[in-house]
Amino acid sequence: MMTILLSCVQNLGIRLLTTGMLLALTAGSTHAQQRPLSLSEVIELALAQSSFAKQAVTNRETSYWQYRTFQSNYRPQLGVQGTLPEFSRVITPVVQPDGTTDFKAVRINNSNVALTLRQAIGPTGGELFVRSEVQRFDDFNGNLRRYNNNPVGIGLSQPIGRFNSLRWARKIEPLRYEESQRQYVEEREAIAQRITELYFDVLLQQVNADVAGKNVAANEQLLRLGQERFQLGRLSQSDLLLLELNLLNSRRALGQARLDAQNAAVSLQSYTGLSAETLQLTVPAAAPRLKVDTNEALVQARQNRRETLAFRRRLLQAESDVAQAKGTTGFQATLQANLGYVNSARDFWTTYANPQDQQQVSLSFSMPLVDWGRQKSIVKTAELNRQQVQQTVAQEQATFEQSVLTQAAQLSTLTEQLSLSAQADSLSQRRYDIARATYQVGRISLTDLNIALAEKDQAKRAYIAALRACWVAHYRLRALTLYDFALQQPLAVAK
């Protein structure tokens, strides 16, 4: 009998009878009643003010500006460069007309300023530029001033055989940016899922705290009834002691339940940023009853989740690494060409009169002759890394798709389990009410009443657990597919 008693005491609990029931979070004091919060309201508050939601917003904004940086690389860049002034007063060796060298005191200024417009050529990795530059030279000792003016010049710089980072960035960066947008939605859904878990953790502990308080009142009533029966000789001393023990254990459980409720509330508060005064929760209704086709869930996951883009990006990145390995070894060359006009004179405006045309062309190259297998080793390493990435991506893709299929398939099972748990909870509550009434008239033993109480409490906990599992699965499926099956539409990116 004592084993059964202790087992019953450890499983004490009672489910909330109505959805709007408010539960106290603190022990020994009564707080002013606040409007209870529903699950959807707590999620909305967390998405608006929690540090995790703010971090998700920061990550999205960072990705946006990184993408803007990528786009700017393909647009014209206008800049000005110069040196104003470059004064020098030194004694320096000067070659004389007869070929000898003499040391002379030199006091000069050599300044220049240039305006350059550059445009990258994405398909080839080259650069086209238009440049205007003017130079001024002053010899203060010789009272001499000269201007050298390049009013306009057009040039081209074209790498040959080198790695074209612009071409690969045009393939990879748009995927990375779109991936970040989808990741933002996923992070918000992950927050909603985590909030749901913490919400039900608090709710369950609040239920336990409320149960413990009700059990204390019920055991006090039963003890008074037992004392009256004991005085009339209709109850044994063993059963009376058992009633007293039940009351002591229920009071102990009440204190522990309140502590557990406070600890669970702290976890939810730290995640959401909610204050203790507003943390009063309601029991949510059952999650939407959805019949989700597993193939449809997989299609939506492939279309909406960032993993699809991430897999493509990682494969392209691996291809880019191979191209970079080949483009930084072996034959490499750079073609430089420019043409324009130039003139020099003592007066600045005179430099614009009768300018002379100028052309420059150069081709610089390098090619290793003996590298002891260095080029081959670098390229082979990149190719093996690419092969490893392909294998890893294939495995991760299969795992991801399987998780989507499993979650979609489990949704209907969890919904059925919730329905059965609700029925079991209702039946166990009715059985306990009958057992208690029967005990009060002396037709069953205290042991039978404790067994009914334990079964009732277990059924109530099972109902809350089933409700929690359904809501968590609901938000997890949303996060896995980024699709709202209730509204039959993809989850939009919150602005």
Give tens-digit pLDDT for 84-131. Answer: 888 988 988 888 888 888 888 888 999 999 999 999 998 998 999 999
Query: Does the residue 306 lie in any domain?
Result: yes
Which DSSP string corresponds to 408-446? Answer: HHHHHHHHHHHHHHHHHHHHHHHHHHHHHHHHHTTSS-H
The pLDDT of residue 350 is 85
Quote the mean pLDDT of the chain. Answer: 84
Query: Does the residue 375 lie in any domain?
Result: no
Q: What is the CATH number of the domain that holds 246?
A: 1.20.1600.10
The pLDDT of residue 316 is 95
Q: Is 131 helix (H, G, I), strand (E, B) or coil?
A: strand
Whether 157 and 179 share a structural domain:
no
Tell me the per-residue pLDDT of 419-475, one tens digit each, with 9 for 90 and over.
899 999 899 889 988 988 888 887 887 778 878 888 888 888 888 889 999 999 999
Tell me the per-residue pLDDT of 269-309, one tens digit each, with 9 for 90 and over.
888 877 655 467 888 888 888 888 889 999 999 999 999 99
- Residue 26 is encoded by which pair of tokens? 């603190």
Query: Does the residue 237 lie in any domain?
Result: yes
The pLDDT of residue 2 is 33
Q: Are 36 and 30 in contact (CB under 8 A)?
A: no
Confidence of residue 34 (pLDDT cuts 50, 70, 90): low
The pLDDT of residue 336 is 93
Residues 109 and 140: their CA atoms lie apart, in Å, by 8
The pLDDT of residue 277 is 57
109 exposure class (CB count in 10 Å sphere: 0-12, 13-18, 19+): middle
Confidence of residue 240 (pLDDT cuts 50, 70, 90): confident
Whether 179 and 275 share a structural domain:
yes
Whether 273 and 362 share a structural domain:
no
Confidence of residue 488 (pLDDT cuts 50, 70, 90): confident
Calculate what percentage of the chain has a pLDDT beyond 70: 92
In this predicted structure, which of 56-60, 61-65, 368-372 has the lowest mean pLDDT?
368-372
Query: Does the residue 373 lie in any domain?
Result: no
Confidence of residue 30 (pLDDT cuts 50, 70, 90): very low
Q: What is the CA radius of gyration of the chain?
A: 40
Whether 360 and 453 share a structural domain:
no
Whether 179 and 155 share a structural domain:
no
pTM above 0.85, yes or no: no
Whether 101 and 159 share a structural domain:
yes
Find all residues with CB under 8 Å of 124, minimum gap 6, and list them: 158, 164
Domain limits for position 279: 2-21+35-67+169-315+387-490
Q: Residue 63 pLDDT > 90, yes or no?
A: yes
Whether 154 and 234 share a structural domain:
no
Backbone region of residue 161 per phi and psi (left: phi > 0; alpha: psi in -120 to 50; beta: other values): left
In this predicted structure, which of 14-18, 455-459, 466-470, 480-484 has the lowest mean pLDDT?
14-18
Whether 290 and 343 share a structural domain:
no
Reference 132, options 401, 283, 355, 376; nearest CA is 355
Whether 279 and 403 share a structural domain:
yes
Query: Does the residue 323 lie in any domain?
Result: no
Q: Give me the number of domains the chain comprises.
A: 2
Q: Are 374 and 368 in contact (CB under 8 A)?
A: yes
DSSP summary character for residue 20: T
Query: Does the residue 320 lie in any domain?
Result: no
Whether 242 and 299 share a structural domain:
yes
Residues 56 and 86: their CA atoms lie apart, in Å, by 50
Cα distances from 7 to residues 42, 170, 276, 494, in angstroms, run 35, 66, 33, 49
Q: If residue 178 lies in a helix (H) or strand (E), which one and from where to where?
A: helix 165-231
Tell me the per-residue pLDDT of 329-353, one tens digit each, with 9 for 90 and over.
888 899 999 999 988 888 888 888 8
Find all residues with CB under 8 Å of 495, minimum gap 6, and list them: none
The pLDDT of residue 352 is 86
Backbone region of residue 283 per phi and psi (left: phi > 0; alpha: psi in -120 to 50; beta: other values): beta
Whether 139 and 45 share a structural domain:
no
Tell me which of 50 and 229 has the higher pLDDT.
Answer: 50
Q: Rounded to the nearest 5°, which phi and psi values hold at 348? A: -60, -45
Q: Residue 22 pLDDT > 70, yes or no?
A: no
In this predicted structure, which of 215-224, 270-279, 408-417 has the lowest mean pLDDT?
270-279
Tell me the per-residue pLDDT of 162-217, one tens digit each, with 9 for 90 and over.
899 999 999 999 999 999 999 999 999 999 999 999 999 888 888 778 777 877 88
Query: Does the residue 105 lie in any domain?
Result: yes
Residues 163 and 174: their CA atoms lie apart, in Å, by 19
Whether 249 and 263 share a structural domain:
yes
Query: Does the residue 276 lie in any domain?
Result: yes
